[in-house]
Structure 1
Amino acid sequence: MPESPEVQALVEQLDERLAGCLIHSADLIEFRALKTRARPLSTLVGRAVTGARRFGKFVDLALEEAHLVVSLGRHGWVRWADTERGDDAGRGDDAERGDDAGRGDDAERGDDAAEVAADPPALASLTVDGSVVEFTDAGSWVSLGLWVVGYPGEVPGIAKLGPDPLDAAFSRVDVDRAVAHRRKQLKAILQEQESFAGIGNAYSDEILHRARLSPVAHGDTLTDDELERLFTAMRDELGEAVRARRGIPIDGLKQAKTDAMRVHGRGGEPCPVCGGIVEDFTFGGTTAQYCPVCQGAPSPKGAE
């Protein structure tokens, strides 16, 4: 799932490439991806792109008197195509996506091992000056979401976002407000977009490992020192990741994220800090990882 560091690197490249470009055509290939049926993608044709920015995990393409907001979901992404590739570039039909295409409820999603297409189909595309921007989805169900709105706050997921750890104004006060006095597991709090914008399964594992905190410890059990460690880990982990991703081509950002993980996705491997063995555990229908030596008790095995 794309998270804030990779989405930030993505929007910076989109802003550099698209600002000032005119949208010549808009193609919706998978109708389920569009969430604003009363405002189709075709209303963007003829408008110039004025910039791109990030809201949590959302991409916002700002245009003249309109915004195209993109939720990448679990397997969504963006890629470039030459206009010479033709109208069928990057597309896939429902038969190739499987019978589960379009499913969106948690019961049918399963964990991170869900089927992922090697060459994901484009669900929508924009033809701009000299190239095509394709919005893809590699999963077996449609997680990509598109909204054509007057301003980003019209999208419910953006309207409810909490403070963003990558924001320069993010402070210890934000952490105390979201975490302290809450009888809820830390990993769940970190992934709760109303509490902290932009963090998902992978970076919550990395942040808690850096902070040396158990993923299933409750917020109301943390000491002042532990809250300070959590704040510092959030700020440093995500900030370092953004700096590391800058300059990496769009099609290499996801792999760069995977390669940089210390514990997430590395169950059974040695912890790079203490040498102990990183362990897997199930959390909220997904697989997560932690180091029992660095992060201590309670053990999260089987946590939900």
Structure 2
Amino acid sequence: MPELPEVHALAVDLESRLAGRRIDRLDVLAFHALKTFDPPVSAVAGQTVHRVGRHGKWLEIVLGDQQAQLHLVIHLSLAGWIRWRDKAPSGMPSRKSPIAARLVLEDGTGLDITEAGTRKALALHIVRDPAEVPGIAKLGPDALEVDEAGFAEILKSAGRARIKNVLKTQGNIAGIGNAYSDEILHAAKMSPFQPANMEPEDVARLYTVMRQTLLQAMARAEGHSASELKREKKTALRVHGRFGEPCPECGEAIKQVVYSGSSFQYCPVCQNEGKSFSDRGMDRLF
């Protein structure tokens, strides 16, 4: 799933391509993806793209002028992505196509919004105010906008909840998902299971590492086109998705825990005094 650094880079790339250009139409091909009905899809036609931005992991394409704006808000979820199309489309895609929606500009160029796999969770909202999108209305402060005092209060309020879950819950802090929470906790040398309500010096260390990790990832991602961002993210990750590979800090094999259809990776030496966490999937295997 694209997280804050990739969605930021997508917004920068798409704004350079879309800002100031008029839209011919929006074709919604996977109707389960469209979560709103008023304004209708037809309201997008003829609108000029004002800017492209983000709210946490949500991408926002702002249409029209300051007096009468529409917002096309996109959540790419686990398997969604955006592809730039340099040529006018030749006919409509087949029903088996991964294209969920197609934004067509007046010259035929535009965006294909795709979703792979069978788990369909991509979401498109056409709204007059992004706060009308429930997922945006519930967001906590952005991970790069919250100050250390606010961050400390979030952790204190979470009590004994696991820090891994607190970091990736969007209602606490917006923008961090499964991958960057792994990266942040590894860089901070902190257990994913540590209670969120921690000592002030641990809060300060985690806050500093969170910002450094996200800013470095943003710097790497910015300037890449949408087609390059997935590969850039994957190659830059040091722990997440590296199960069985040596830890870049100590050389110990990276371990993982699988749960509820998801997983996280960690270094037992750097993050848990050399001890591995129980993993129900592996435990059953053995």
Q: TM-score over 0.5 for the alignment?
A: yes
What's 1:107 paired with? none
Q: For 1:208, give the aligned amino acid.
A: L
Q: For 1:66, give the aligned amino acid.
A: L
Q: How does 1:51-90 map to 2 (within 5 A)?
A: 51-64=51-64, 65-88=69-92
1: CA distance between counterparts of 2:276 and 2:156? 21
Q: How does 1:150-299 map to 2 (within 5 A)?
A: 150-167=128-145, 170-180=146-156, 182-220=159-197, 222-296=198-272, 299=276
2: CA distance between counterparts of 1:217 and 1:92? 48
Shift of 1:143: 1.3
2: CA distance between counterparts of 1:239 and 1:283? 29
Closer/same/farther in 2, CA of residues 87 and 39 from structure 1, 3 Å limit? farther
Q: For 2:246, give the aligned amino acid.
A: P
Shift of 1:247: 1.2
Question: SS of the counterpart of 2:88?
Answer: helix
Closer/same/farther in 2, CA of residues 196 and 303 from structure 1, 3 Å limit? farther
What's 1:135 paired with? 113
Shift of 1:161: 0.7
Shift of 1:233: 1.1
Of all paired residues, the percent bearing the same amino acid is: 41
What's 2:284 paired with? none
What's 1:116 paired with? none
Question: SS of the counterpart of 1:11?
Answer: helix
Question: SS of the counterpart of 2:23?
Answer: coil
Closer/same/farther in 2, CA of residues 23 and 166 from structure 1, 3 Å limit? same
Shift of 1:70: 0.5
Whether contact under 8 Å (1:279, 1:292) holds in the other structure is yes
Q: What is the TM-score when the length of structure 1 is the normalising length? A: 0.86
2: CA distance between counterparts of 1:71 and 1:59? 6
Shift of 1:277: 1.3
2: CA distance between counterparts of 1:274 and 1:174? 33
Whether contact under 8 Å (1:214, 1:300) holds in the other structure is no
Partner deviation per Cα, 1:3-48 (whole Å, 9 max, x = no partner): 1100000001111111111011110101100000233321100111
Question: SS of the counterpart of 1:61?
Answer: strand
Query: Would you say 1:17 and 2:21 are equivalent positions?
Result: no
Q: For 1:80, give the aligned amino acid.
A: W
Shift of 1:180: 2.3
Q: For 1:157, give the aligned amino acid.
A: G
Shift of 1:301: 2.8
Shift of 1:179: 1.1
1: CA distance between counterparts of 2:200 and 2:125? 41
Whether contact under 8 Å (1:216, 1:303) holds in the other structure is no
Closer/same/farther in 2, CA of residues 303 and 166 from structure 1, 3 Å limit? farther
Long gaps (5+) in structure 2: 282-286
Whether contact under 8 Å (1:278, 1:291) holds in the other structure is yes
Question: SS of the counterpart of 1:180?
Answer: helix
Question: SS of the counterpart of 1:83?
Answer: coil
2: CA distance between counterparts of 1:87 and 1:133? 15
Closer/same/farther in 2, CA of residues 192 and 284 from structure 1, 3 Å limit? farther
1: CA distance between counterparts of 2:211 and 2:46? 40
Shift of 1:141: 2.1
Shift of 1:299: 4.4
Q: How many residues align?
A: 274
Q: What is the TM-score when the length of structure 2 is the normalising length? A: 0.91
Shift of 1:303: 7.8
Whether contact under 8 Å (1:27, 1:42) holds in the other structure is no
2: CA distance between counterparts of 1:82 and 1:16? 14
